[in-house]
Amino acid sequence: MDMEIILASQSPARKKILSDLGLTFRVVPSHTDESHENLIRPHAIAKRIALRKAEVVSQKNPQAWVIAADTFVVLHDGQLALKPVDRADAKRILSHLRGSYCDVYSGLAILNRFAKKQWVDYEKNSFAFSKIFRSGTGRISKHK
């Protein structure tokens, strides 16, 4: 029996990562509630939402290895920056970051119900933004 891998995401970037690794997989979006009630620590939110996505897809595919992820930005003032709804919203978020920094949290979950295996973790990266002038785009650098 072949090992089936399912990516619980429609993200082009996540599809590319798995393809670049040479993995054969199919995409099954989770369409999961991404609320994070009762969770205030960003790493816990990232891990819980990623696991929730994997669990939803795994319910209908218990023998497959399901890979799910969630990524979001925490602004310098502690607010969560959700995905921009349009270009104007993206500009608003970027202007909020001008001369500041943000943390990007990514949660990853890998789940196989049949094998009773589960792995959940997260990664945090910090980015510093220079001032963005009207004549240019400014610079973004990874902050250690």
Residue type, 114: F
**CATH number for position 57:** 3.90.950.10
pLDDT the model gives residue 50: 95
Helical spans, DSSP H, in 21-134: 42-60, 87-97
The CB-side HSE value for 84 (13 A sphere, CA atoms) comes to: 11
Rounded Cα distance, 15 and 26, in Å: 9
66-104 confidence digits (pLDDT tens): 999 999 888 888 888 777 888 888 888 877 788 888 999
H-helix or E-strand spanning residue 5: strand 5-7
pLDDT for position 49: 93
Domain that holds residue 139: 5-143
Q: What is the mean pLDDT of each run of 10 residues along the chain (144 residues)?
A: 87 94 94 73 92 96 96 86 81 81 94 95 92 52 50
Number of domains making up the chain: 1
Residue with tokens 């619980």: 8
Provide the annotated active-site residues: 70
State the pLDDT at residue 135: 45
Consecutive H or E run containing 126? strand 117-129
Report the predicted TM-score, pTM, of the whole model to 2 decimal places.
0.82
